[in-house]
Structure 1
């Protein structure tokens, strides 16, 4: 079992979230279960999944096989774009629980706002109801812009605990992160290292890594944590899993943070997935 302890962050609903989690996209079947069990044994305590990943069953199996008490592991899933209508969203959450064999999810998000459908407020109302019923502990969203979140708040009075967004050195989301901070919303980062290795090849990051005796990945993940974001890296090898989690024994200087943030690009978004118009089904 891993002995690395990940700090917890307080959320606006009174619950806490680990400062770093584990992504499970494309971790399916028995090999996916083994990878997740390995991550849990390394010390990860947050598994991030989604209805769309078709691996909620594998996530639940990993929780059971890990030998770690359920209440010590936090599990996330997300409502897909086709299930935003109130009843369909509630059914999706129930089906997620049945597939995973879990009694509750710690986090449930709306995966994308899909604004042209204009149903995300209904999906949010379903999440509020699911929380009342004890199906989920904390509710949030994923890939929502400030205007989408403001509408949720205006129409329901309930502020999301978390918004999971694309965030890496080429796309630092400064304005969005500031807005989250002003509304006491935790920023969670998907694709925290970028989907390819290009950010890790940046000479500036390499120089910082050498100075600290750390890897480029560790430097980027530490940068994320010091921004106040919760990265959810994915790694299949036990060695890489341990490397990614070993970031709480050093700190970057303000100058080093600024050097990494300066890699931000106007076209830094990985794909043409702008939440203002992107549709996820």
Structure 2
């Protein structure tokens, strides 16, 4: 029987903990769903301290001023006193504006508006640049820690888009990898290896993929609009893939089913609001 459990959490570099299994509503300014998500959190009988809420600074708001504004607006829209995790949605804006947007996150942490910060859809070249920006901010702002702490990176990750270079970069720095589209939008259902594992364990192919992600140490964010599917995707703790099965399911493909800003150039400006 697996040692994993539905209440498992992972310690972040920020010192806070993140649940290892998430739900892919994953709020963001660009999705225009922050108000609804915040209202749901506030109406819930679950204590706020037990809910981990994530949002993002949108792709067109990657600059210092725009990010500051988005963070403030997110707090107003959600009605929450703080946001557990805020990510930069994409590596756009150019180097200067990416550094500025990161600084806005750092300041929001210092002001108690955000607890943990991270990035989404950054390639290794963007991550290397961010690491340099953090060092620069430490010098500019007064020492270690003043440049901010990278806690989470979020990417489309699954057996047909394993992103080994990015995962390796993160693991060397204890950065948690969040996996969106972990069930590949259902587009790989029926693949022989996946189908055989589902039949072997009496599980759905989606459950096998969520389980794969958990055993890889990721934080999968399965998404569904159907209540029964949401519950089903969380019932992945009564079976365990073998080490060989985890390895065999992963491919050498690079086949994302979502947008893929990881490959964008460092000088990609993409119509930024500054």
What's the TM-score bracket when you normalise by the shorter of the two chains? 0.7 to 0.9
Q: What TM-score do the two structures reach when normalised by structure 2?
A: 0.86
Q: Distance in 1 between matches of 2:189 and 2:7?
A: 23
Q: CA deviation at 1:137?
A: 0.4
Q: Does 1:149 align with 2:139?
A: no
* SS of corresponding position for 1:275: helix
Q: Which residue does the alignment assign to 1:120?
A: 98
Q: Which residue does the alignment assign to 1:18?
A: 19
Asked whether the 8 Å contact 2:62–2:92 carries over to 1, the reply is: no
Q: Which residue does the alignment assign to 2:55?
A: 77
Change (3 A) 1:159 1:137: closer
Q: CA deviation at 1:270?
A: 2.2
* Residue from 138, 141, 153 that aligns with 2:116: 138
Residue pairs, 1:1-281, within 5 angstroms: 5-24=6-25, 48-114=26-92, 116=94, 118-157=96-135, 158-195=148-185, 197-262=186-251, 264-266=252-254, 268-271=255-258, 273-277=260-264, 279=270
Change (3 A) 1:186 1:272: closer
Q: What TM-score do the two structures reach when normalised by structure 1?
A: 0.84
* SS of corresponding position for 1:176: helix
Q: Distance in 1 between matches of 2:118 and 2:203?
A: 33
Asked whether the 8 Å contact 1:167–1:189 carries over to 2, the reply is: yes
Return 5+ residue gaps in structure 2 as ranges. 136-147
Return 5+ residue gaps in structure 1 as ranges. 25-47
Q: Distance in 2 between matches of 1:22 and 1:118?
A: 33
Q: CA deviation at 1:10?
A: 1.2
* SS of corresponding position for 2:53: strand
Asked whether the 8 Å contact 1:78–1:110 carries over to 2, the reply is: yes
Alignment length (residue pairs): 252
Tell me the alpha carbon deviations over residues 65-103 of structure 1, each in whole angstroms, 9 at most, x when there is no partner: 221111110111111122222122111101001001111
Aligned-residue CA RMSD in angstroms?
1.8
